[in-house]
Structure 1
Amino acid sequence: MKPSVFVFERLAALLQQLVREDAARHGLLPVHLQVLGYLAQANRYSNIPIAVASYLGITRGTVSQTLAMLERKGLISRSNDDRHGRRIHLQLTAAGEEVLAGSWPQRLDGLLAAGGVDLDELASQLRAVLGSLQRLNDRQAFGQCRECAHFLEERGKHRCGLTGETLAVEQTVRICREWSDPRLRESRPGDSRSAPRPLAEEGRG
């Protein structure tokens, strides 16, 4: 077994410890903090219950209970989708954002930057590892909107080639459950971006 595997194993253990400690400071469980962290990054296609379950690899029942608790604590809120009546969107409240302020991701970013680490290069290398693990475990990939095969930039505006919908700038830097590897563009016969489709109602949360 390569030394890099042991490094990843140790990193995973330390990150789990950081999550537990941050959660405990706010009277939360690790899964609660993970849900808040996900919602802070998710775009409008992905801030829905089923996407939370997929991203964290947990059951819908666990997600339902977790969301109910976070809502009771005033850390998240729900809103109906204007276009799709069955779809519920989840947002952090000001209190939820406060819980994440100064949490371990911010502290780690600061430490890496202070140590002279090239954060962009590190992110690129880690994404390659993440992609390999997702393929190995047949897990759904989530990625930043603007780095997706479906992302289109036309006349200064941004659009999702999958849905045909215009994207606000702030949405393009968030992560999406519909993300697709941009390297697939050239290999995809008959670019599917030319045939926008609405996201299906069933199973979208």
Structure 2
Amino acid sequence: MIRTPMILERLGALVHQAVRDDAARHGLLPIHLQVLQYLAQANRYSDLPIAIAEYFGITRGTVSQTLSVLERRGLLTKARDPVHGRRVHLRLTPQGLAILGDSWTERVQAALCAEPASARLDETLVDVLAALQRINGRRAFGVCSQCAHFRADAGGTHCGLTGEPLAAEQTVKICREWAAPIPTD
């Protein structure tokens, strides 16, 4: 009998409880904390309200209400895109980042860093995640520099999909336009 589904369920339940506890400690709902965590990892193609809806599988109305609470609490700001006028980018404030400083993700990161096999586990979990996303027909949201569209040359890094240059800090963040690289054998 494979125990992995049960272990994943158990890990999911523990993470869910940790998110609830962390959110309550700051007077927030779990989705508020999850959105803050997402935005801390999102690149400029993914720091949009529609990307949040896609990532969490929630309605635009829920996203709108969540963003209003976070903005009112001073945890994020909204900025119009200079090129695409109707597009709004979301940025965490120092207060928003501070909430994440002692969150469940930091505790999990510390636990994983203590394990010598964490790199292999990370690769395995990424493979499982990608397979489940394909089965469910969801956007993948992977790390920019690991995308089929990522390009690096003498002129720097840029997105092969949009042609836009990428700042170094953007290449290590998640992107909603991510596509699995084509294996080279």
Which bracket does the TM-score occupy, shorter chain normalised? over 0.9
Measure, in 2, the Cα distance between the counterparts of 1:156 and 1:103: 38
TM-score (norm 1): 0.87
Q: How does 1:63-78 map to 2 (within 5 A)?
A: 63-78=63-78
The one-letter amino acid paired with 1:58 is I
Partner of 2:170: 171
Measure, in 2, the Cα distance between the counterparts of 1:83 and 1:141: 25
Per-residue Cα deviation, 1:3-29 (whole angstroms, up to 9, x for no partner): 111111111111100100010100000
Q: How far 1:107 sits from its partner (Å)?
A: 0.9
Q: How far 1:32 sits from its partner (Å)?
A: 0.3
Partner of 1:47: 47
TM-score (norm 2): 0.96
Q: How far 1:156 sits from its partner (Å)?
A: 5.2
Q: Are 1:145 and 2:122 an aligned pair?
A: no
Unaligned runs of 5+ in 2: none
The one-letter amino acid paired with 1:94 is P
The one-letter amino acid paired with 1:112 is L
- Secondary structure at the residue paired with 1:183? coil
Unaligned runs of 5+ in 1: 187-205
Per-residue Cα deviation, 1:103-149 (whole angstroms, up to 9, x for no partner): 111111112222x2333222111001101111121111100000000
Measure, in 2, the Cα distance between the counterparts of 1:35 and 1:7: 25
The one-letter amino acid paired with 1:122 is L
Structure 1 ranges of 4+ moved more than 3 A: none
How many residue pairs match? The answer is 184
Partner of 2:161: 162
The one-letter amino acid paired with 1:74 is G
Measure, in 2, the Cα distance between the counterparts of 1:145 and 1:112: 22
Shift in CA distance, 25/174, structure 1 to aligned 2, threshold 3 Å: same
Q: Are 1:103 and 2:103 an aligned pair?
A: yes
